[in-house]
Structure 1
Amino acid sequence: MASGFSNLMIDKGIGSHRYRPWEAVGKMKMASKKIIMTLLAGAALLAPAVYALETQQLEKEEEAFALEATAPVFGATLFQGAFKDQPFTGFNPSYRIAVGDQINLQLWGAYTFSATLPVDPQGNIFIPEVGPVHVAGVENSELNSFVLRHVKRVFKSNVQAYVNLEASQPVKVFVTGFVDRPGLYNGYSSDSILYYIDSAGGIAQESGSFIDVNVLRNNQLIQNINLYNFLVAGTMPALQLRNGDSIVVGPRNGSITIEGAVQTPAQIEFKGPSTQLGEMLLIAKPDPLANFARITQVVDDRQQASYMPLEDALSAPLYSGAVVELVKDSDIESISIKVSGELDGPATFVLPYGATLDDLMVQLKFRSNADPFSVQLYRKSVAERQKAALQRSLDALQMEALTRQPATSEERGAQKETATMIQNFIAKARKAQPRGQVVLANTSNANAMLLEDGDELVVPSKSSTISIVGEVVFPTSLVFNEKRTLEDYVELAGGFTNNANQDELVILHLDGTISRIEDNDFDNRLRGTLRAGDEIMIMPKIKSSEIQVTKDITEILYRIAVGTAAVLSF
């Protein structure tokens, strides 16, 4: 579909503009015809269409739920019996000897002895000819040298010792919180928390946290453990459990779902009110070819959807429940369309790539005060083209104003004043931000227009007012009266200012079309051209003796008025 300022359907005069936004639509699908006819017939006839639309929406919600459910909870496969069936019998160097541990001792030389000695309740082992040696609390790495020093106190020479920890203390540990089978479980003090959680059936996937596991001793927190560190990097804190310790799995925190072009599609948990995609991708690991991200989430009770380059999405805030789909530029399968205004239902629709305007329209549920004939479509790519065209025009105007060669000294003085005025105007004009509206009215194939990802559709309410802005004394909104003329509305707004262009004005219609009315029609009743919801735009008068400069500035002023729905003074 054509777009840009030159194709914004500007009409001159009264007769050239006929209001037929949807009457001219070509071969519409039957579903679209039914919706249009139902709306025209009145709210009483909406029940069948509403039922059909609600059914379609319910089916889409079920599809969305099924899609989200395909992404597993990250870490869901961690606890499947592998840990509880393989208790850990080794000891790390920092393990501290505890009551009940079994220590293997061998002495040789002038005195020989070999036995496995238990650490008694006082924390001692008893060595014949040496006596009790208090080993409780000694690190495993220091155990051999520690025992040998005590042996040397009795046997000054010719006796050597070899000591190793043969078995750790049997303990009973409570496992509770959000696990499948809370209870008291047997093990050894050297066993990891993975062994005990696995023995309790693992973390409850729908309600338990993988990043908030606490170990308590005598009701005091001794360690907070994030199992993602083990899942991603294989690291686990060296923790020595004691009899009566408690392992408490906390409730699940907020989470986001990452899917699409990632190595590990998953529901990933995070702490805090929000997170960033960059942090989550350290876990999910993006596909090397992924270059865009589609983000759908609820912010301030409104569903939002965005599609952006991956490098921009990395720092975007994500809230619990967000669904992020990483895509390769060549593999886009769906687009997100934001809808707002007088509608019931979702704020964002996800449609197949290649969907048309009609595919979206048949799913909309209009409110009773909606104006479906003035549907407005805003597109980022159109706004960018409008902005680029405006910048080119401003560049050309600047070149024209600054390079013109004056013929006389009198013209030289006038040129300086004109150049300053134009430079000030250009500085203001460069700040204008076009809305990127795609005009749908009076276009026979509007329903077949392809939608783009990020399009925004606005359904305005039926209006009973008309606005007048720009170069009038009191810009205002007035109750529309079809008996009034443009001249009447100007007078009600206080009349023209001294800077007003009284030869022609612009009417911006609610559906995005434009009418330019010359002064000889100001006192006529413009039936069909002047309508409720319109915006009467009084343009400024161009104060320049140069015909080309006047023409360029006039074009720019009209372009800004149409593209931004605002009048820029000159």
Structure 2
Amino acid sequence: MITGKVRNLGLGLGLVATLACQTAFALETQLVDDTVPAEQPPSGVPVFGQPLFQGGFKDQPFSGFNPDYRITIGDQINLQLWGAYSFSASLPVDPKGNIFVPEVGPVHVAGVKNGTLNDFVLRHVKRVFKNNVQAYANLEASQPVKIFVTGYVNNPGLYNGFSSDSILYYLDSADGIDPKSGSFIDIKILRQGKLMQRVNLYNFLVEGIMPPLQLRSGDVVVVGARKGSVTVDGAVQQAAQMEFIGPYTQLGEILLVSKPDPQANFARITQVVNDVQQANYLPLAEAMTARLYPGAQVELVRDNDVQSILIKVSGELDGPATYVLPYGATLEELLAQLRFRENADQKSIQLYRKSVAIKQRVALDRSLDALQMEVLTRQPNTDLEKTAQKDNALMIQNFIRQARKAEPRGQVVIADNPNAAEMLLEDGDEIVVPLRASTVSIVGEVIFPTSLVFNKKRTLENYIDLAGGFANNANRSELVILHLDGTISRIDDKDFDNRLGDRLRPGDEIMVMPKIQSSELQVTKDVTEILYRIAVGTAAVLSF
């Protein structure tokens, strides 16, 4: 399997298990008579990391400040003393690891971190010059080195650089790793024949992690032979030939690097196992744990024959935020898996559906189109009517522009429905479990839209007064109450000063609608219908 930090990129087999499909199925393994070499990737699929070496590193040697760089023999230290004693010079770190400071003597700086060099030298100076002498020391240049680069690179050789340069600089100087034969995950750093460190470039390519290295003259960078590889193509974010270490790997490990397309749901795997070529077509969740051997070819696909659906859940719940259920699962089957918190309002569960939101949008647009046609085609009889209609048309056109911006929520009302539990869920449904509410909101055409603590003794008139009373443009003849479970109640003005019992509950929104300023009865009726549709569909009151 892929080694190093690439194994912990965040997908992991734990998430693979979460994605497991309850009705996953697999086609029977097919045996193909003709066999092909294990390492024969399809043409056009690049080696992962192949574009890395295109001169971008060798043309930019690293000579900037690196606080973690440790001073070594051959480095040049710029030292300045001032005050009662003055001195300025560039001092080399001698073979014993010292710099010689006049009047102070040798100061052993080899192994000192660049970030602490100044304080380190100043302490030694203060041992001799107790007062009135200050010191400033910084690394002027890291040690020039000559590094051997060999193995499966395009141009092995001895290359000049600095001890602070990364191995990417030296690999690029050797024109990079040979993509046909070299390994991107097995690079060794040798010093006097001993292994100092192994480097896996996948960690750099995926996470930007490069191990800290400080090279010395004579060090050897050895690129190993290419390991077993798997070709991943199709519905992935990066089609590539991926290396791994070991006799086999798993698709879940490979996709940590190659990343599947969010819509991918199946994998077609072709590979040679025990000298027999096999072909499998698996749901992606099941394929994640499939063993892949060197030379395997994997194609991720977006199969329309969906066998599972993804449901999002939020609110007063413990547990996962998404559930993968078999196609055809019901609301009852989902609710049985949910873990409700103590304060969850299970009677007011809300279901939002994309297809319903689309239908609401279409219905709203159709009503707006009809209203626009009604206004534009009405013929005035007199000049006075013509002037009035022009003003009315401008007002209606402005209203239509605002109304087209409304975004329906697509709520499916499931309250008080004995058959709701049997309802089939759709892919992408969102379930919201609200907190058991203790307030009532007053929104729309009131002076101060607000939320108030629910009190069953209060009437609608009380709540409106607490919100500052009706605004000038309020419709005072009827109110809409939007309940937490998505149901609505329309209350006439004769009940404003009466207690409403169960018709007003904690969590409700009292929606004060605007008054329609139009002299045309049909227009008034159409606009009223649209306003109520927007209020219920978006849980917001649109001003008119």
Residue equivalent to 1:464: 438
Which 10-residue stretch deviates more, 560-569 or 488-497?
488-497
**How far off is 1:497 after superposition?**
1.3
**How far off is 1:474 after superposition?**
0.9
**How far off is 1:444 after superposition?**
2.0
2:223 pairs with 1:223: no
Q: Which amino acid aligns with 2:410?
A: G
Gaps of 5+ in 1: 1-58, 68-76, 79-187, 195-214, 257-262, 269-276, 285-296, 299-304, 311-321
1:425 to 399, 416, 420: 399
Residue equivalent to 1:103: none
Distance in 1 separating the partners of 2:261 and 2:413: 23
Q: Larger radius of gyration, structure 1 or 2?
A: 1
**How far off is 1:510 after superposition?**
0.1
Mapping of residues 213-362 of structure 1, within 5 Å: 221=167, 222-223=170-171, 230=179, 248-250=198-200, 253=203, 279-281=237-239, 327-362=301-336
The 1:425/1:244 distance shift into structure 2, 3 A limit, reads same
**How far off is 1:328 after superposition?**
3.4
CA deviations on 1:190-242 (whole Å, 9 max, x unpaired) are 85279xxxxxxxxxxxxxxxxxxxx99996631069999837xx7889x9x99
1:192 to 146, 152, 172: 152
Q: Which amino acid aligns with 1:423?
A: Q
**How far off is 1:436 after superposition?**
0.8
Distance in 2 separating the partners of 1:526 and 1:391: 34
2:488 pairs with 1:540: no
Mapping of residues 91-170 of structure 1, within 5 Å: none
The 1:264/1:548 distance shift into structure 2, 3 A limit, reads farther
- Contact 2:456 2:499 survives alignment (8 Å): yes
- Contact 1:307 1:453 survives alignment (8 Å): no
CA deviations on 1:142-189 (whole Å, 9 max, x unpaired) are xxxxxxxxxxxxxxxxxxxxxxxxxxxxxxxxxxxxxxxxxxxxxx99
**How far off is 1:64 after superposition?**
3.7
Counterpart secondary structure, 2:171 = strand
Counterpart secondary structure, 2:368 = helix
Gaps of 5+ in 2: 1-12, 22-37, 40-147, 208-228, 243-254, 266-287, 290-297
Q: Which amino acid aligns with 2:431?
A: L
The 1:217/1:397 distance shift into structure 2, 3 A limit, reads same
2:373 pairs with 1:413: no
- Contact 2:365 2:404 survives alignment (8 Å): yes
CA deviations on 1:274-293 (whole Å, 9 max, x unpaired) are xxx76413559xxxxxxxxx
Identity of aligned residues (%): 58
- Contact 1:466 1:478 survives alignment (8 Å): yes
Distance in 2 separating the partners of 1:228 and 1:363: 51
Distance in 2 separating the partners of 1:228 and 1:348: 42
**How far off is 1:63 after superposition?**
3.8
Distance in 1 separating the partners of 2:178 and 2:499: 75
Distance in 2 separating the partners of 1:306 and 1:382: 26
1:565 to 526, 531, 539: 539
The 1:539/1:361 distance shift into structure 2, 3 A limit, reads same
2:462 pairs with 1:513: no
Distance in 1 separating the partners of 2:317 and 2:369: 42
- Contact 1:216 1:223 survives alignment (8 Å): no
**How far off is 1:492 after superposition?**
1.1
The 1:193/1:353 distance shift into structure 2, 3 A limit, reads farther
Distance in 1 separating the partners of 2:456 and 2:344: 21
Distance in 2 separating the partners of 1:309 and 1:414: 58
- In angstroms, what is the RMSD of aligned CA positions? 4.3
Residue equivalent to 2:528: 554
Distance in 2 separating the partners of 1:547 and 1:422: 13
Q: Which amino acid aligns with 2:520?
A: E
**How far off is 1:368 after superposition?**
0.8
- Contact 2:153 2:177 survives alignment (8 Å): no
Distance in 1 separating the partners of 2:493 and 2:313: 39
Distance in 1 separating the partners of 2:489 and 2:178: 65
- Contact 2:263 2:302 survives alignment (8 Å): no
- Contact 2:236 2:300 survives alignment (8 Å): no
The 1:478/1:308 distance shift into structure 2, 3 A limit, reads farther
**How far off is 1:566 after superposition?**
0.3
Counterpart secondary structure, 1:383 = helix
- Contact 1:382 1:436 survives alignment (8 Å): yes
- How many residues matched? 327
- Contact 1:465 1:480 survives alignment (8 Å): yes
Distance in 2 separating the partners of 1:228 and 1:386: 57
The 1:243/1:529 distance shift into structure 2, 3 A limit, reads closer
2:437 pairs with 1:479: no
- Contact 1:338 1:455 survives alignment (8 Å): yes
- Contact 1:307 1:336 survives alignment (8 Å): no
- Contact 2:352 2:429 survives alignment (8 Å): yes
The 1:403/1:308 distance shift into structure 2, 3 A limit, reads farther
Distance in 2 separating the partners of 1:403 and 1:502: 31
2:474 pairs with 1:527: no
Residue equivalent to 1:105: none
**How far off is 1:420 after superposition?**
0.5
Counterpart secondary structure, 1:507 = strand
Compute the TM-score of the two structures, normalised by the length of structure 2: 0.53
- Contact 2:264 2:300 survives alignment (8 Å): no
The 1:64/1:342 distance shift into structure 2, 3 A limit, reads closer
- Contact 2:372 2:397 survives alignment (8 Å): yes
Residue equivalent to 1:179: none
Distance in 1 separating the partners of 2:514 and 2:412: 26
